[in-house]
């Protein structure tokens, strides 16, 4: 039985070296590459402002995070949940860089990227060379419902990425073949358990805003990827 952790973060910006901080972490447990329904989710007070440009991407204002714990207060719980399992993320270098900056700042050991990271962007580019590898593009390619995705949201993005990851690893039929109907139900129940959590209420962005900020996020994340 193989355990791994699929995770995503939301942040105040694009570079922890410039003072940007994590404001949300969501993580989903996978067993043999399929969701179990066990999840970790926390909102974090970043101890700094949230620029308007970042708010337009993920919907968070600093007022939304007043009273939430700082990262140092949730670090041990996060580390306990992930254990020593491999860590799956979409553009993993971006999320690892932020998590490791936060861990170092509160005196914890950083996660080893070389031995633990599984990057679904890399997987997609190898499987579909020359084609877009954004999460939205992969969801459309695999027929995964994007109707709930407005602003970026770590919890929902984990749910979507879990479905994308199953497809990148061989698809739903592989999951069925591994363990039959019981595992199929486990996969569905696991994804639905994460998706059923109450969404944050916020004004939805316009179609033009979504297009502009999706392009902005993709450009900056690609820049971070190539800089590493």
Q: Would the annotation count 10 as a binding residue?
A: yes
d(C-alpha 136, C-alpha 225), whole Å = 18
In which residue are the tokens 């031995």 written?
A: 115
Q: Would the annotation count 163 as a binding residue?
A: no
Catalytic residue IDs: 152
R_g (Cα) of the chain, nearest Å: 17
Q: Would the annotation count 66 as a binding residue?
A: no
Q: What are the angstrom distances between the C-alpha of 95 and each of 168, 182, 196, 207?
A: 20, 33, 24, 26
Q: Would the annotation count 53 as a binding residue?
A: yes
Q: Would the annotation count 58 as a binding residue?
A: yes
* Neighbouring residues of 49: CB distance < 8 A, sequence distance ≥ 6: 12, 62
Binding residues for substrate: 8, 10, 53, 58, 157
Binding residues for a divalent metal cation: 8, 10, 157
């Amino acid at each position: 039985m193989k355990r791994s952790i699929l995770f995503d973060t939301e942040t105040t910006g694009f570079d922890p070296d410039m003072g940007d901080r994590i404001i949300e972490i969501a993580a989903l447990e996978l067993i043999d590459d399929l969701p179990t329904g066990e999840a970790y989710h926390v909102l974090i007070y970043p101890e700094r402002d949230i620029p308007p440009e970042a708010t337009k991407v993920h919907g968070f204002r600093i007022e939304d995070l007043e009273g939430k714990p700082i990262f140092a207060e949730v670090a041990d719980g996060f580390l306990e949940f992930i254990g020593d399992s491999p860590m799956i993320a979409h553009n993993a270098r971006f999320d690892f860089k932020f998590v490791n900056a936060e861990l170092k700042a509160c005196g914890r050991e950083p996660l080893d990227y070389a031995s633990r990271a599984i990057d679904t962007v890399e997987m997609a580019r190898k499987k579909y060379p020359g084609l877009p590898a954004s999460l939205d593009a992969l969801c459309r390619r695999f027929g995964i419902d994007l109707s709930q995705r407005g602003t970026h949201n770590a919890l929902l993005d984990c749910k979507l990425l879990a479905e994308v990851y199953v497809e990148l690893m061989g698809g739903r039929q592989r999951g069925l073949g591994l363990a039959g109907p019981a595992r199929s139900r486990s996969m569905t129940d696991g994804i639905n358990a994460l998706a059923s959590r109450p969404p944050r209420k916020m004004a939805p962005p316009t179609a033009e805003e979504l297009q502009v900020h999706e392009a902005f996020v993709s450009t900056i994340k690609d820049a971070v990827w190539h800089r590493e």
